[in-house]
A and B are shown apart, each in its own frame.
Chain A
Amino acid sequence: MLHFPRWQSVLIVLAVILGVAAVIPNLVPRSWVAALPSWLPKERIVLGLDLQGGAYLLYQVDQEDYIQSRLRTVTNDVRETLLQAPRIGYTGLGVVDNGVEVRIRDNTRIDEAAQRLSQLRNPLGQGVFSQGGVNEFAFTQGDNGLMRLSFTEEGLAQRIRSIVDQSIEVVRRRVDELGTTEPNIQRQGEDRILVEAPGGDPEQLKSLVGTTAQLTFHLVDTSVNPNSILERGRAPAGKMLLMTSEENEYEPGVPYVVDEAPLITGEDLTDAQPAFEQQTNEPVVTFQMTTSGARRFCDVTTREAAARTPFAIVLDDEVVSAPSIREPICGGAGQISGSFSVQSANDLAILLRAGALPAALTLVEERTVGPGLGADSIAAGETAAIVAAVLVAGSMVLVYGLFGVIANIALVVNIVLIMGLLSLLGATLTLPGIAGIVLTMGMAVDANVLIYERIREEGRAGRSPILAIDAGFSRAFATILDANVTTLIAAVILFQLGSGPVRGFAVTLAIGVLTTIFTAFLFTRLMVAMWVRRRRPTEVPV
């Protein structure tokens, strides 16, 4: 056991040096790290949100919201399809359960209607893995000309998947616009999105990520009195009733009746910036339109300018403002005014640039840590680690003397290797992670204790010092392995099944077990072997 071929010694020392090299980027300023030669590891340990402050937000895609908004579009599609020349008379068009129903009035044209409406089943694009087309909707026919388009299970599932992907993109753009460094945005499970952003103002982040930001321009229907529609509670077909936002209970929202089909949607915008209205110095948001959007807007404003029809600027079903069209707007640029603050104008510009979410997101879990608490936690963790290290190291020297010193060097190497591996893996260090490292310090000496106690026993049994040391190592091997593998199993399962603090703890625990095995079996043994070769001890040294 005590004989090391030269190549083995070299490899062990190299591994330790690599560990030290991997820790260095954490200890020097970032600018130095950039200047290091390219072959040196540069990764730093990522501090968890509990240590640097930040927000952990778990969102769930609101399926019901998506289904409702999608069915609204389909209702419009059905109407347009039936109104195409030659038009087919219908009645009772509306959303029922998870589908759209309509009744064809003219019995002689049922087949033609069925033929047209079945076109709306909307086969979804085949992904790489899905064989054959999946229709988003199933078309069914009932008695008396009743027709129904309803979501298919596979179609809905595929839609939700792509909505989550799309939402992740939009959220990422928004968070990037906010200038957050190193945000982590990822899918979680079927329909959830995890947003982790260090630092920053969690409230601003929440309001930005959680807003759907569906921007649309609608022509206002001035021929009806919105208040009477509000009382009846139901807008005429093809129209809808929208309100401005309620300032407070004394200033309730103002109702507008607008065309259901939008003139312009957020997709027709190419850019949006916060600015100030020159005359009033009010914050506004200016925007640029795509060529096709600009052309459409130009056509409508040209047509409506004489009538001075107002158009409503609608954000997430709330009217932001409703300016009147005074002259044709054909430059492809425009501005939105409302009662914005500088902050809200800036936020709206970000939202418009990043695009709208395809469905509303519901915040299902939120954890935010202020930077003050994070800094306190780091300080507390460092103090605890230092005190723990001193106590553990002191008791080892007290009990084992010189071999205790060797165990302490091994402990230092162990901690360096844990830090090095954490850096190389780009793992996140959390407060429970620090607890894991401190616990590892307590338990890491266990391997050395097992070895030393074994050496003592062998010595007492009458073996010569060198034989006792040799047997101590080889006999302790199996015990250490069994003991550590059980801990490793626990750590791996914690990592697989856990989340948040449990994971952070499991990572350091697992890494700690691996480095412990390395230091006990190779590093400590090498040091003891070197000592034995030089000193040729005549009595058992522990």
Chain B
Amino acid sequence: MKRLNLPSDTKIPFMRYRVPALIGSVIACILSLALFALVGMNYGIDFQGGTMVELRFEEPRPIADIRQEVGNLGLGDVQIVEFGEPTDVLIRVEEQPGGEEAQQLAVIQLRELYANDAEFRRVEVVGPRVSGELAQAGLIAVVTALLAIMIYIWLRFEWHFAIGAVLCTLHDVVLTIGLYSATQLDFNLTSIAAVLTIVGYSLNDTVVVYDRVRENLRRYKRLPMSELIDLSVNQMLSRTLMTSITTLLALAALFVFGGEVIRSFTFAMIWGIVVGTYSSIFIAAPLLITLNLRPGRAPGGGTGDGDDEAAAGDAEPSAA
């Protein structure tokens, strides 16, 4: 069988593009934040409260009819979208004024309306007491995860790496928020899981590149920083591509065959993998230069300070 050869021994001058890449990323981040501030996200019922019902009708029904019928119930803002099959419909009703019982009343009204000609495949009701807590818990989860990871990298590497990794991860999170704002995909609890996975993946990628940078820092003590990073990224390029491609293949399978319920979740992750791969090369690595990781180590450097020694001990564990 003929093997497919991954590019090896590449000499792509990534760092030559670092200024345009950084500028591009900053613009993209600002755009994302602007979208978030001006348009906002389409928060699902997890965070806003309300009722969501997935119905399967016996035969396809025009959305306009359903909109008319549900509209007559006077439930305020109602969103009705087709969901996968032509017979399937997702109805989202905003949080009803009047506390928990009022939400239940909305479901009862919907049931009375459609109990005879549709299967209620999914009913979700999040009351006002819980929705605020869920949003808070989600935010705490993201922030805590970032902090914990930063501390881990700080312990294992030098502080430049920790800051670089977290900035790069924030970049990915901001762009993901931008994606949710731009596409108005439902942002719910599952989206929080997607964001955290993107965080995990992006860090995974960043750490792998950083690991090689650290190793090369010890090996090539005279090499200018930008060349050293180019070398490291090129050395890891085939791995980065291979891993991104297999992960994207797996996610593509999930996107196409995994069902409507997790489609937006998978979509966000695919975006996250692409952004995460880009950012580990074009953001995380150059940030090390910006953060002045090796100051004053021009030609003739290589003082071999304590940090390097400690790191060397980590890189080749004798116990393994």
Contact = CB atoms under 8 A, between A and B. Distances in A.
A11 interface: no
Interface stretch (A14-22, A223-231, A256-264, A382-390): A382-390
Interface string A371-389: 0110011001101110110
Interface in B229-254: 235-236, 238-239, 242-243, 245-254
B11 interface: no
Contacts of B137: 497-499
B249 A365 contact: no
A443 B247 contact: yes
Nearest to A381: B258
Contacts of B238: 453, 456
Nearest to B52: A367
B121 interface: yes
A399 B207 CA distance: 24
A387 B253 contact: yes
Interface in A463-500: 473-475, 477-479, 482-487, 489-491, 493-494, 497-500
A537 B250 CA distance: 33
Interface in B145-201: 145, 148-149, 152-153, 156, 189-190, 192-193, 196-197, 199-201
A242 interface: no
B58 interface: no
Contacts of B121: 369-370, 372-373
Nearest to A394: B249
B123 A490 contact: no
A99 interface: no
Nearest to A377: B259
Contact of A363 (B127, B199, B253): B127
Interface stretch (A86-94, A144-152, A172-180, A430-438): A430-438
A125 interface: no
Q: Which among A434, A485, A491, A521 has the greatest number of chain B C-beta atoms within 10 A?
A: A485
B124 interface: yes
B257 interface: yes
Contact of A398 (B3, B107, B248): B3
Interface in A424-460: 431-432, 434-435, 438-439, 441-443, 445-446, 449-450, 453, 456-457, 460
Given A395-B246, A438-B253, A486-B153, A493 B148 contact: yes
B145 A438 contact: no
Given A367-B123, A443-B243, A449-B243, A494 B145 contact: yes
Contact of B246 (A367, A392, A484, A489): A392
A369 B122 contact: yes
Contacts of B248: 442
A365 B126 CA distance: 5
Contacts of A506: 193
Contacts of B15: none
Interface in B183-225: 189-190, 192-193, 196-197, 199-201, 203-204, 207-208, 211-212
Interface string B308-319: 000000111100
A481 to B, nearest CB: 8
Given A362-B100, A490-B145, A58 B130 contact: yes
A498 B134 CA distance: 9
Contact of A432 (B54, B156, B190, B208): B190
B124 A367 contact: yes
Interface string B91-134: 00000000011001001000100000001111111110110001
Contact of A478 (B8, B123, B125, B317): B317
Nearest to A57: B125
B293 interface: no
B44 to A, nearest CB: 11
Contacts of B204: 443, 446, 483-484, 486-487
A365 B125 contact: yes
Interface residues of A, number: 79
A366 interface: yes
Given A362-B100, A446-B243, A456-B8, A478 B316 contact: yes
A486 B250 contact: no
B119 A383 contact: no
Contacts of B38: none
A365 B189 contact: no
Nearest to B273: A442
A434 B100 CA distance: 32
A369 B248 CA distance: 29
B26 interface: no
Nearest to B120: A370
Contact of B269 (A364, A398, A439, A499): A439
A202 interface: yes
B43 to A, nearest CB: 16
Interface stretch (B27-35, B260-268, B283-291, B294-302): B260-268
A436 to B, nearest CB: 8
Nearest to A399: B4
A400 interface: yes
B64 interface: no
B250 A438 contact: yes
Contacts of B200: 486-487, 490-491, 509
A505 B195 CA distance: 12
Contact of A479 (B5, B125, B208): B208
Contacts of A397: 1
A123 interface: no
10 contacts: A364-B127, A365-B130, A366-B124, A368-B124, A370-B122, A399-B6, A482-B207, A483-B203, A487-B204, A497-B140
Interface of A: 1, 50, 58, 60, 202-203, 362-370, 372-373, 376-377, 380-381, 383-385, 387-388, 391-392, 395-401, 431-432, 434-435, 438-439, 441-443, 445-446, 449-450, 453, 456-457, 460, 473-475, 477-479, 482-487, 489-491, 493-494, 497-502, 505-506, 509, 521
Given A384-B257, A391-B250, A483-B204, 8 more contacts: A435-B262, A438-B253, A446-B247, A482-B156, A487-B201, A493-B144, A494-B145, A521-B320
Nearest 8 A/B pairs, CB to CB: A442-B247, A380-B259, A442-B250, A388-B253, A497-B141, A387-B253, A373-B121, A490-B200
